[in-house]
Each structure stands twice: as C-alpha cells, then as structure tokens.
C-alpha cells in the first residue's frame, strides 16, 4: 500500500499545511480525517498566501484529489467560503477534485453559539476554545442526534432533525446560559442555498473511494488537524481539542484499516508553541519567547491569537512518537532559530524534586514540571536560501542530527522557510 499519515507531534501549529502542500505534489489523494474549522493551515506559494481550515492543502495541486472524510465536523458555511476563495484564485476548477463525505457531522450556528456561551460561563477557568462549535457538534454525534452532510439532500428529514435540535439548544441557550435563541427558519433557509452550492462535491461513501485508491496503488496522504498533545484521550486534558488527533484517528475517521498504512510522519517544529490554556513546561515568557513569536510569525491562522513559544521538548516528543507509532519526522521552521547565540533543548523534567525522562500524562504533574535543558551552540546567518543540508551551517546540521539521534527517528525533511522551495529533502516521501 501507499498510505502515509501526517500528524502534528506537539500542540498543533507545527507547519502541517506547508508539509502536506509539498507532499501533495507526489500524492494522488489527500484525505482530511478529523477536526473542523478550529484549525488553519497557512500556505505560501509563489508569494501568495492561502489560508485553509477545512479543504485539504492538496487542493493547490490540480492533479491531487482531496477528500473530507467522515471523521470531520463540517462547517458548511466555512467550506463554501473556502471553495469560493479557491475558485477566485483560479483553483478547484474541477469539482471532482474535492469530495465531501455524506457521513460528515455538520456544524450549525447553534453549535457555535453554545460553544461560546459555555466558554464565557467558565470565567477565568476558560479552556481556550476557538468558539467554532467543534465540541458541541462532536457531542451531538456521540449522542446519535447529529445532522450529517448527506441529510442536506433529504429536505424533509433535514427539517425535522433541525427543528428537534434547535428546540433543545435554544432551551440551553435561553434558560441556562441567558443567551438569545437561534432562528430555526433562517438556519433552514441558509442551508438550502449552501446545499445547492456544495452539491457538486458530494460523495456518498468516501471510505470506498479511499479503499479503491489504495488497492489501485495510488499514493494517499492522510492529513490531520491540531497536534498530538491536544488529543481528547491522550492530551493535556481538559486543555485539549474535541477529537482524536493521533495517527489511529486517521483510520477511524477515513474508514480504512491499519494494514493500508506504510508510515506515520510527524510534523515537528524546531521549537515548541502552544495556543490557549494548559501546561507548557518549556514556555518562555521573556524576550526570547517574544523573539521566536515575532520571527516565526506565531499567530493563529484561525483566531489570530498569539502563540506561546518555548524551547524544543524531547520528553513530549518521545511521548508523541509512542502514542502515534511515528516512523519519520519532518522538521519545520529551523530558520526561526538562526542568530540565537545558544539554543536550549529540554531533555528531562524535574518533578517534585526528582528527575524524570518520561512525559507525565497528568496535567497537574506536567504543570509542576521544570525543564532540564541541554545547551547547544547556535548558528549565525540566513539559511532560507539553502537547497541542501550541505548549505546549512555546521551548527544547524548538528542540531538536526541531535534531534534525530535523541528521538531515534529519522528526519526526512527539513524546512528553512514558508515557501515550497524552502524544503530540504533528505529522503523521498513515497518509496
């Protein structure tokens, strides 16, 4: 088989969008398998910036087919807006290039309102949600009340399901959160227009499409959202997202078996960032963190929020490798660390007076961890024009090799800038 899963190995924002865009030039299919519009990919191609939240990054390559699979919670207003923007830029000329599963759970206005009302009610104990309605939509799916993308094409069923859902959500909004209700008639009216616009992209069974592609020896890339440390079950709960962000989720969300996967590639930033609340042992609340943020343009593509920045955390990466079965690494944003006189790397933690090398799964323990650093020599000068590893300063090469050696995982790709051409290939993707 030729199935490759791409996951974020940290707290998200590792640069998956660029990697999937670059990888997509070699792929026949790119499959988005979980999450929703709470994640964003910022892509820089030929000096033009494209931000995508739901449509897979492979859409920038006209010969690559893109699939939004059943595990995704779909905000159809957002996906319609992305499609319009892509068409305006001369992309997605063929509607067959994008397939949306009938089994996707829909995010509707009352999911977003409920999400924001809950966050508001938490006061100072906020989770840091994007307010995009992701959690409420997944809740509705788990309670077997969700409205699916396929329901849009059965108007009578759709109306009944929406009326029942709005009745419950308006009760919560008005009686519990003291928020105004949503208008059911307007929701149905808006959906009718969006249904016509999205009809060309409908696919009843994307699992079957993916299965046939893999059986036919097509190259399939599975693209996730967020990062491993935000996983609902294995992340820094409750400061996590509402879905599973791990490699195993690619199989469930897409409807394929593990025997169809060749490798799991971890997208790993050369330092660490996090958005929202939650423990972050290597966070730098000083001028060095601010410098990383400014040079790396560490602001969320979805919310515009500042990302918290810190040094690379090896115990956290080892944990991500274990829970994902990671086989290869793509190292991102190496260029951001240029001109740092020294670079620190967390190799262990001090927890309650003891040295530990394993990542603690308890958020309370993680919050008490103090990083134990190893300092290495930084490098001077611009590396964004490098074409091969030989073009990098010796210290930059040493940093890359140190990471690979410490993690016992090969680094196949090194990114030295936001552009496609600023990608150094150490090994081919598909073999």
DSSP structural state of residue 170: H
Question: SS3 of 42, please?
Answer: strand
Q: If you compute the radius of gyration of the chain from its CA atoms, what whole number of angstroms results?
A: 22
d(CA 171, CA 191): 22
Give yes or no: 13 in active site. Answer: yes
| Rounded Cα–Cα distance for residues 58 and 357 (Å) | 38
Q: Are 52 and 43 in contact (CB under 8 A)?
A: yes
End-to-end distance of the chain based on CA atoms, in angstroms? Answer: 11
The per-type count for the chain, helices as H runs and strands as E runs, is: 12, 20
Beta bridge partners, 344, equal 375
Taking a C-beta distance cutoff of 8 angstroms, is the pair 304, 366 a contact?
Answer: no
Q: What does the angle CA 402 – CA 360 – CA 362 come to, to the nearest 5 degrees?
A: 150
Instruction: Give the span between the Cα atoms of 164 and 23, in whole angstroms.
Output: 43
Q: Looking at 28, 41, 53, 234, which residue is catalytic? A: 41
Residues serving a catalytic function are: 13, 41
């Amino acid at each position: 088989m030729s199935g490759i899963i791409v996951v974020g190995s940290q707290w998200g924002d590792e640069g998956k969008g660029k990697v999937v865009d670059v990888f997509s030039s070699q792929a026949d299919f790119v499959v988005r398998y979980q999450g929703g519009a709470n994640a964003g990919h910022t892509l820089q191609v030929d000096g033009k910036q494209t931000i995508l939240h739901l449509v897979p990054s492979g859409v920038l390559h006209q010969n690559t087919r893109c699939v939004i699979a059943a595990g995704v919670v779909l905000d159809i207003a957002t996906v319609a807006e992305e499609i319009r923007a892509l068409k305006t830029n001369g992309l997605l000329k063929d509607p067959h290039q994008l397939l949306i599963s009938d089994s996707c759970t829909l995010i509707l206005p009352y999911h977003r309102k409920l999400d924001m009302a809950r966050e508001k009610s938490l006061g100072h104990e906020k989770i840091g949600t994007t307010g995009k309605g992701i959690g409420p939509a997944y809740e509705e799916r788990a309670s077997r009340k969700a409205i699916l993308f396929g329901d849009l094409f059965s108007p009578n069923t759709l109306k009944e399901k929406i009326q029942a859902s709005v009745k419950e959500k308006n009760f919560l909004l008005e009686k519990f959160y003291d928020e105004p209700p949503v208008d059911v008639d307007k929701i149905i009216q808006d959906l009718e227009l969006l249904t016509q616009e999205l009809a060309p992209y409908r696919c009843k069974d994307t699992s079957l499409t993916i299965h046939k592609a893999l059986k036919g020896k097509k190259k399939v890339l599975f693209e996730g959202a967020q990062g491993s440390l935000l996983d609902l079950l294995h992340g820094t709960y409750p400061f996590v997202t509402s879905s599973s962000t791990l490699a195993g989720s690619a199989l469930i969300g897409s409807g394929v078996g593990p025997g169809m996967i060749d490798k799991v590639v971890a997208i790993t930033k050369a330092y660490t960032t996090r958005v929202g609340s939650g423990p972050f042992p290597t966070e730098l609340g000083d001028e060095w963190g601010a410098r990383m943020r400014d040079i790396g343009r560490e602001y969320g593509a979805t919310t515009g929020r500042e990302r918290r920045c810190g040094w690379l955390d090896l115990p956290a990466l080892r944990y991500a490798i274990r829970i994902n079965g990671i086989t290869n690494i793509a190292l991102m944003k190496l260029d951001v660390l240029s001109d740092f006189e020294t670079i620190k790397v967390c190799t262990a933690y001090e927890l309650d007076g003891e040295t530990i090398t394993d990542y603690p799964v308890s958020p309370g323990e993680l919050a008490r961890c103090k990083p134990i650093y190893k300092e290495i020599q930084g490098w001077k000068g611009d590396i964004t024009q490098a074409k091969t590893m030989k073009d990098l300063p010796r210290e930059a090469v040493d940093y890359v090799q140190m990471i690979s050696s410490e993690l016992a995982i090969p680094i196949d790709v090194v990114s030295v800038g936001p552009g496609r051409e600023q990608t150094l290939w150490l090994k081919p993707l598909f073999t």
